[in-house]
Amino acid sequence: MDPIRDHVRAMLAGLGEDPEREGLLKTPERVEKSLRFLTRGYGEDPLALLNEALFTVPYDEMVLVKEIDVYSMCEHHMLPFFGKAHVAYIPDGKVIGLSKVPRLVDMFARRLQVQERLTVQIAETIEEVIKPRGVAVVIEAMHFCMLMRGVEKQNSVAVTSCMRGVFREDRATRNEFLSLIKKRPGSVL
């Protein structure tokens, strides 16, 4: 049998449930499939992803992809967290295909994570591959480990950031990025 399915059966029994009950018979299989889907990022190579879409372009202004949906699982409780990521960089001769930015976010999010590490991994990978003048990542997320258990604060949002290069060194560049990701009342985007 599959070790994940065996462990799910044991967990169900440990919780006082009957794993042979009709409603739970296929639960171990469903949980195993779900966990494999939610952690598929372990089998993906972020460097290969970005290197497939690396282009030489004479563009030296900010490239920003914002409001990227993030779905991940906290490594401490294996409960979901979800939110938005905002990723910007200032190229130095190379750009990456725009669709690769959300794919990179998803690749790292689809692992057991802490939000802080996720934020840094995205920034470090972009920095390593295209060597931009700077990179900035902000993630805003709600964590079920805070919403449903523990402190049970239903409206709390965790915000993490990683600023590298000109985003860290130049206040004007950092402020431009932060103003661009700020939500505006009544805006469609």
Confidence of residue 63 (pLDDT cuts 50, 70, 90): very high
Which residue in the list 67, 76, 116, 128 is annotated as catalytic? 76
Q: Which of 128, 131, 122, 132 is nearest to 162 (CA)?
A: 122
In 3D space, the residue among 134, 125, 131, 132 whose CA is nearest the CA of residue 106 turns out to be: 125
User: Given 17, 77, 127, 176, which residue is catalytic?
Assistant: 77
Residue 137 vs residues 55, 77, 102, 152, 175: alpha-carbon distances, Å:
21, 25, 12, 27, 13
Residue 2's alpha-carbon distances to 5, 32, 34, 132, in angstroms, are 5, 8, 14, 44
Known catalytic residue: 115?
A: yes
Contacts with 78 (C-beta within 8 Å, 6 or more apart), sequence order: 112
- Percent of the chain past pLDDT 70, that is, above it, reads 96
Q: What is the pLDDT of residue 26?
A: 96
pLDDT for residue 19:
96
Q: Active-site residue 162, yes or no?
A: no
pLDDT at 136 over 80: yes
pTM above 0.75, yes or no: yes
Query: Does 7 participate in catalysis according to the annotation?
Result: no
Average pLDDT of 24-34? 96
Q: Is the pLDDT of residue 187 over 70?
A: no
pLDDT value of residue 148: 84
- Active site annotation includes 76: yes
Tell me the pLDDT tens digit for each residue of 30-44: 999 999 999 999 999
Taking only the tens place, the pLDDT of each residue in 116-134 is: 999 999 999 999 999 999 9
Among the options 52, 75, 128, 169, which is catalytic?
Answer: 75
pLDDT digits (tens, 9 = 90+) for 5-20: 999 999 999 999 999 9
Which pLDDT does position 104 carry in this prediction?
Answer: 98
Q: Which of 113, 115, 121, 140 is catalytic?
A: 115
77 carries an active-site annotation: yes
pLDDT in tens, 72-117: 999 999 999 999 999 999 999 999 999 999 999 999 999 999 999 9
